[in-house]
Structure 1
Amino acid sequence: MRVLVAMSGGVDSSVVAALLVEQGHEVVGATLQLYDHGAAIRKKGACCAGQDIHDARDVADRLGIAHYVLDREQVFRREVIGDFADTYARGETPIPCIRCNQTVKFRDLAALAADLGCEALATGHYARRVDGVHGAELHRAADAARDQSYFLAATTRTQLTLARFPLGDMPDKASVRALAARFGLAVADKPDSQDICFVPEGRYDTLVGRLRPEALAAGEIATSDGRVLGTHEGIARYTVGQGRGLGTASWDGADKLFVAGVDAPARRVIVAPRGAIESTQAIAAEVNWLVDAPDAPLRCQVKLRAREAPRDATVAWDAATGLLRITLDAPGIVAPGQACVMYDGDRVLGGGFLRARGSVDSARAAA
């Protein structure tokens, strides 16, 4: 086939390109430029930046394949970085990797693949695409420690039909680096990207403050019954379940306190003991189904955060409102803004973005 490979300049996507060339496919490489070259080239641990573009081009030259660089700075700034800052300003916790996959990666690269006459779009994600009875299915990777299926839950069924994930069956990252060495790729020992790619130094609050200054305005830290225990320097610095950074509001008598919620209009952070912040109920919007949407309550497993294990739950889909109502078998921490991804064993059924109970934005829910 003619295959478009999304080449970030890292070892994973480089190995994907090399494997497909070795298998006899006609491979075309594409790299997304998401930052200004001059600024990006100095960023350590960032992907899709200056040095990474050079690395991707070098790999393409070694493999003898065509390579394109797509300028997506403005789109990335608007749809990923802007959404990141907006989500914090609403008092929620964003998950930008899903937004990036949903927009500048799969949407834009799928369009490029069509323009170039490619029959497939391959990426370096650790996930598996399985041809099922009713079409392409998304499954977790063989290496559970590196599985990225959670971050691909917003991929549409049409995009999944086009997608290929050659690393999905790899047993571990060491095997991928060994392949890179065998192919003679200079990126074989290149470190993995760290933190959020556009905030490589980890100071996301500085970025949010520049774009949404109100998210770093001072406010109160209080209990759910209104007792003020302390102050904070911006709601963007807090997420549901967080126990650090509360200062004098870290304890209420003998009880250790955690963030239970964020009231953005009042610039107030709500705290409570650990047991009080857990819930068995959640709501998700912007739901993307990778199976036929169920017309009755569905038993499945859900992940409410990228680094937690799937937990048993019952979900109910309301097509009229576009909302997914989740009932967990055991209480968990529900952080609005994060993703809820549904699984049946290893298979991804779909996913959406968690919303605060009772304050669902109908416009975003219908998006």
Structure 2
Amino acid sequence: MAPHRATEPYIGLMSGTSTDGVDGVLADLAGGSIRLLARASRALPDELRRELLALNTPGPDELARAANAANALTDCYADVVHDLLACAKLPASAVRAIGAHGQTVRHAPESGYTLQINAPARLAERTGIAVVADFRSRDVAAGGQGAPLVPAFHAACFGCGTGRAVLNLGGIANLTVLDDPVRGFDTGPANMLMDAWIQRHQGLAYDRDGAWAAQGSCHDALLTALLNEPWFAMSPPKSTGRDLFSLAWLDDRINRLPCSKPLPAVDVQATLLRLSVDTIASAVRQHAPGAQEILACGGGVRNPVFMNALARALPCRLSSTDACGVPAQDVEALAFAWLAQAHLQGHAACLPAVTGARHATIAGCLYPA
């Protein structure tokens, strides 16, 4: 009779800067391995998505609106948790903890704060499972960016010294260089500006398969104006979000162009795709010159126009994390399951070489079941 195998089930939840939905995974992390047990996703209700986006900029009654949005988001998280448990046929009591990052609405580490909308106590109450949340604050308190959070997980999952780098294509793109020490930083927008632009002009949440961008032509003067953003020239460690790369930022650059007639909206979309491609490729050339392979994950992997353009622009091979047995759509949710485990084990997962903090820190705060 085979010996009983010990298990360590954790749940990871992610609703990223694209604000399109909640992705969740249930994974067995026993013994340093990663075994996916279940996955589930739910779209965010349109009203909640609009409110989360609105809370990225100052507005009336923000405190009450943020608290209400946190509760509504957490209820979506709880629904995904119940879906995962049902799929895996596990009781809540079997799960060690949930890693729930929350929704970033303000990120200003240079001012000493970062804000993720979340209600982890409510999530623990609704699920009966301990919750680890607030992953950025301690690193920011130690002088770091508090982001990106996933490089330590990437190293654990994909290995160091492998000639690889990991590229997450969410709303923002971030790159993990799997050297020793591990390095990681945001490169700028991935899908975020493209999503916002197509939402404005076509009422769609995202550009499916990059079809709209493929119909347009890159506007060289606009691309130059966008690339002149000083943030791109900053050296890592660095992180960013909607605080900088918003439609207001884009509108300002468009309005400054000496154009006699409005730019076709489809050409702006094509230019935004090119902006993401060029800034990612530039970051790889500058900061991962030895990389032989880029492993891509996140929602952008499902955009063939984006991926094909990246493959042409990068100086090395591009593939998906699917090729390593880790579904590209699950990587970030798996990272938060892993970060929850790291917190309970007292493992410092916020790395100074990534965030610029004075020392490594244990990420997150625990809300017991």
TM value normalised by structure 2: 0.29
Length-normalised TM-score, structure 1: 0.29
**Higher-Rg member (1/2):** 1
Which structure's residues are more often strand, by fraction? 1
Higher relative contact order (CA 8 A, sep 6+): 2
Structure showing the higher helix proportion among its residues: 2
